[in-house]
Chain A
Amino acid sequence: MTDSGEARQSVLEPSATTEESEAGTAPRKTEKQRGLWGEAWRDLRRRPLFIASAILIAILLVIAAFPGLFASADPNTQLLSKARQDPSGEAWFGYDHLGRDIYARVIHGARASIIVGVFSTLLAVLLGSLIGLVGGYFGGKTDSSLSRFAEIFLGLPFVLGAIVILSTFNAGIEGNPGTVRVMTQVVVTIGILAWPISMRIMRSAAITSKQQDYVKAAKALGASHGRIIFRHILPNSVAPVMVYATIALGQFIGLEATLSYLGLGLRAPVVSWGIMISDSQNYLFSAPHMLLFPAMFLVITVLAFVMLGDAVRDALDPKQS
């Protein structure tokens, strides 16, 4: 490591020289601007992993958009006499404890589960990454205050935060709030309570990337903070957050069930996989199919997103392309 001497600068306080040099030299445009993201896209289209995951996600999205095409039965009709019946020709996935068709419920549950999973992940990760990037890159007081703020959120028990946030949202509504509203609330709640983890991850990655030669080079060339953060640090720090995001997606789909269980999340007639899985709790022995099918769809969905994440990460990684 040739530049170890210079690297001994503070992580937390950007050195004064950098800022001066930045003010002095005008940023010089690199030639041949195909752009990092454009390149990544070209690269992506050639990867089989990407194609496979994209097809899988497309199928799931179609199911979520038009559940009626795949299942004709009503997911909420109770045929109490058929409660807990095993899968059969009549109901492919069997019936649950209230005699509802599990196949219809799994299909109709795709929409809520995927929307909640994808959007709350996006919200948590984007929010967390942005704050983490800023904290990690600028260091110093900015970093301390952002980090301490995040730590308070990390310490906040999810159930407490969720009850208070959602009860506040729900206050003053007579009767049941509308589906779109509840879904937005659930997404926002999970996003607000889950961002600190991606913040910590992004921050650590940013601190590491910041020390790299190419960042120093960019600084020396007088690139603006924004440019350094988004063109140099972000692409090199995105991998760990991407891994987190794809896996968090699965956890958030499950988390939604916790909210429903507390009486704060989605409720009938909306169906979700999380609710189905949590319903199965008392029937593990007598009706394992109540758990099996929603869990299977959850695994497939998470798998598709993990594969997509892998492919995108590989494509973005400047060192590998």
Chain B
Amino acid sequence: MRRTRMAAPVAATLSVALLAAGCGGGSGGVTKKTGTLDDPIVVQWGEPENPLVPTNTTEVNGGNVLDPLFTGLVEYEPKTFKPHNAMAKSIEPSPDKKTYTVELKEGWKFHDGEEVTADNFVRAWNYGAYAPNGQLTASFFSKIQGYDEVHPSDPDGDSGPKEPPKPTAEKMSGLKVVDDHTFTITLENPFTIFPTTLGYSAFAPMPDVFFEDKAKYEKTPIGNGPFKFEKRTPKQSLTVTSYDKYKGEDKAQVDAVKFKVYKKLTTAYQDLKSGNLDVQRQVPTSALVGGRWKEELGDNAIQREGMLTATLSFPLYKEKFQDPNLRKAISMAVDRESIMKSVFSGSREAMHEWAAPSVDGFEAGRCGQWCTYDEAKAKEYLKKAGGFQGTLTISSNADGSHQEWVKAVAGSIRDTLGIKVAFQPVPTFSEFREKINSHKMTGLFRSGWVADYPNIQTFLGPLYSTGGSSNDSGYSSPAFDKAMQQASSASSVKQANELYGQAADVLSKDMPVIPIYSQPIQAGKSDRVATATMTPRRSLALTTLTVAKPKE
């Protein structure tokens, strides 16, 4: 047996190797060809779940490819993530913040040569909103006037037996093309921060070829961004190259970037260390433990605040979770700090507020004592609520990487309150989602949110407004809704943010969900790459990539 003889030396080398692990270092050298199609910059990636169409993509893998392929009216600066006009020359609000006039920059072209006009935007948005097209991002257009005609809401909710009525129009009345480079957007209600939200990829313009042959387009997407689609092998890789005729300021600085599909983050990490991979967008948990990745990657480690949060939601449609004191007791029984330290070895931040840091309008500690571990107080509030009968279940899908922290939270609540708590896994995410959608949850369930745009509103409106598009817990509070409405029609963004903060304070009183943690971005790059900037949405800003100078 070859293996047998190897066993002892292997064990010995392993222990030495562990000590010496600090000097991993990339071996892939920089040559003249680095960053070109012959030797592209390789970025870790995962297979997208839907066809590469902006209005049909919400997850981060598809998004990371679409971002450089398209330039919308507004883009977010990769480092600060502040919005600025990109394709839009100007976006002028009316005094009541209900109508916006958009003027486009001229001379921009899609990768196939077609000029980008107002029509490309309006047509794309109408396509995304129209119900029969079944696009994932339809709800992004719901603020626009006439959305209800193209996408009528279900009279008895998602789970009800009634079919939603057929749409009565194909186009939203709120969108009007004025001339080739001007169009107006009229909203249903005032929305001060509307221009900020326009940076989301769903608002991208679409070329005519998309509407002519969608199947063909899905195989070879065409956009107007700094990079253009080159080739793709499904489940393996996708390559983009720089678009020379790009008119924007954020031009590509490398010729070619290859997105490579990795099934396991640990494998990608090994490749990163041995120089086969240039940028890893997410460092695996095994390397985060004990801060190993920072030792091994040194200057190539990239860390920044993220816009991802994890929470546990109460099924407020169940009788036994009606008492806010019970919800507070459970929240105070979660030892967030210790769980972050033990499960994620400090790589994620315990969350004591209602939004992720780094969004506009964020204020630390907004949830206060209700989101802070306090054994005595938790017990006191449990008593106030009259105790808890039966078993508290905490549910999560099993096919993600969430089991560990959910189990830890379950243990923390059990050990603190002395009630029966059981972890209840659901095998697939689709089954889990279906149970949530149809209000079949019987206990706490895992929920999470990634900001769509860098404003605190993204963490409040869709999640807690009555009938909000992602209000999974079924929370409904007139006080909260009123505060949100006031904020949306505020005279300035600054004032809006303040008012959104007040809406968040309502949540602290009611605790419809329990904030657990927010997730910073932990990425890594190779020596071949001089600069690489991660956005807080965990995608790599391709335009910031530069190749290192070749060593002599």
Contact = CB atoms under 8 A, between A and B. Distances in A.
B289 A176 contact: no
A281 B286 contact: yes
Contact of B289 (A77, A175, A283): A283
A81 interface: yes
Contacts of A98: 342-343, 404, 407-408, 411
Given A175-B393, A175-B424, A80 B292 contact: no
A145 interface: no
Given A98-B343, A281-B286, A282-B289, A78 B412 contact: yes
Given A284-B286, A286-B292, A84 B424 contact: no
B285 interface: yes
Interface stretch (A5-13, A31-39, A262-270): A262-270
Contacts of A244: none
A267 B404 CA distance: 12
Contacts of B105: none
A97 B404 contact: yes
Nearest to A267: B423
Contacts of B165: none
A80 B391 contact: no
Contacts of B286: 281-286
Interface in B369-424: 391, 393, 397-399, 403-404, 407-408, 410-412, 415, 422-424
Interface string A262-298: 1110011000000000010111111100000000000
Nearest to A98: B408
Contacts of A285: 18, 21, 286, 289-290, 292
A176 B443 CA distance: 12
18 contacts: A80-B341, A80-B342, A80-B408, A81-B338, A83-B341, A84-B342, A97-B342, A98-B408, A98-B411, A261-B398, A262-B398, A263-B398, A263-B426, A264-B398, A267-B424, A282-B284, A286-B345, A287-B289
Given A80-B335, A261-B398, A268-B423, A175 B391 contact: yes
A198 B408 CA distance: 40
B339 interface: yes
B427 A264 contact: yes
A78 B411 contact: yes
A99 interface: yes
Interface of B: 18, 21, 284-286, 289-290, 292, 335, 338-339, 341-343, 345, 391, 393, 397-399, 403-404, 407-408, 410-412, 415, 422-428, 442
A168 to B, nearest CB: 12
Given A175-B391, A285-B290, 9 more contacts: A80-B408, A80-B412, A83-B338, A84-B342, A99-B342, A163-B428, A175-B424, A176-B422, A268-B422
Contacts of B393: 175-176
A176 B424 contact: yes
Interface in A123-140: none
> Chain B binding site: helix, strand, loop or mixed by DSSP?
helix
A174 interface: yes
Contacts of B426: 263
Identify the 10 closest CB pairs spanning chains A and B, nearest first: A263-B398, A263-B425, A83-B342, A80-B338, A78-B411, A286-B289, A282-B286, A263-B427, A282-B285, A80-B342
A97 B393 CA distance: 22
What band does the interface of chain A fall in when counting residues whose beta carbon is under 8 Å from B? 20 to 34
B408 A174 contact: no
A167 interface: yes
B442 A174 contact: yes
Nearest to B410: A268
A175 B442 contact: yes
A262 to B, nearest CB: 5
Contacts of A263: 397-399, 403, 425-427
A167 B18 CA distance: 42
A263 B406 CA distance: 13
A286 B424 CA distance: 28
A83 B424 CA distance: 23
A281 B342 CA distance: 15
A251 interface: no
Contacts of A264: 398, 425, 427
A208 interface: no
A174 B440 CA distance: 10
A262 B415 contact: no
Given A78-B408, A98-B408, A267 B289 contact: no
Contact of B427 (A76, A175, A262, A283): A262
